[in-house]
Structure 1
Amino acid sequence: MTSATLSPLSEQERAPLLASLPGWTAVADRDAIHKRFTFADFNAAFAFMTRVAMQAEKADHHPEWFNVYNRVDITLSTHDANGLTQRDIDLARFIEQAAATLAKR
């Protein structure tokens, strides 16, 4: 892990990165991003969480999340950096790819 991956993104750096992640929004009162995902049922939501968990473990970067039936709420922030970093953007991109394969139809 490089020091750059643990440096919070500046406003200039984050704007274009967040623009490439539709639906992700800033969290009020904290340097983090959030998105809600909805799937067809619990099995699809759990499959999604499993894919994300495996990638998060590999990257040693774990999301904050909450699941109820077919809904998964995810918040990303790098706690070691006290803010949003490239690690969060990278994980958000993976999350988007995983969600696309299981999206509610």
Structure 2
Amino acid sequence: MSTPTFGKAQALSEANEPQWSLGTDEATKKEALCLISRGRWSLSATRMGIEREFKFKTFAKAMVRLFINQVADQCKVKKHHPEWENVYNKVAIRWTTHNPEGLSHKDVEMAKFCDDKGIELGETGEEKIERGG
């Protein structure tokens, strides 16, 4: 079975600090680094976003009525949309800001929203899903 894949994510180090969106405040930077350091979110290969994969018990929890639809509804409210893929019960999400380019408050806010929804909907996977190169 194939799994959702994005670019090769990076572990955080001084050499690959995130590329922040112009105007990103220190509190947001701290929150983003905290999300990454917990190990569930990874810095994208471009260093301009964060990404993670969610695994649910069933396709329905991942897609049809729940996770993706609830995230999509919040995207409309916040006027901010992810890059994402869905394969059966797995959803890969990358948050990045295109204008001004880089990691921003909106990305961090939506990543936290996704985490909360994942918990609420009984996300099953602590393991990292293999990513392509």
TM-score tier (shorter): 0.7 to 0.9
Alignment RMSD, CA only? 2.2
User: Structure 1: which 5+ residue stretches go unaligned?
Assistant: 1-5
Aligned residues: 99
Q: Which is further off, 38-47 or 22-31?
A: 22-31
The runs of 4+ residues in structure 1 deviating greater than 4 Å are 10-13
Per the alignment, in what secondary structure is the counterpart of residue 91 of structure 1? Answer: helix
Matched, 1:7 2:27: no
8 Å CA contact 2:28–2:108 kept in 1: the answer is no
Per the alignment, in what secondary structure is the counterpart of residue 104 of structure 1? Answer: coil
Match of 1:66 among 67, 85, 88: 85
TM-score (norm 1): 0.83
Letter in 1 for 2:56: F
Q: Which is further off, 67-76 or 21-30?
A: 21-30
Partner of 2:100: 81
Distance 1:18 1:69, change over 3 A: same
In the TM superposition, what whole-angstrom CA distance separates every residue of 1:27-55 from its partner, at most 9, and x where no partner exists?
A: 11241110010000100001100110000
Per the alignment, in what secondary structure is the counterpart of residue 102 of structure 2? Answer: coil
Q: Percent identity?
A: 33
Matched, 1:38 2:55: yes
Partner of 1:17: 31
TM-score (norm 2): 0.67
Letter in 2 for 1:43: A
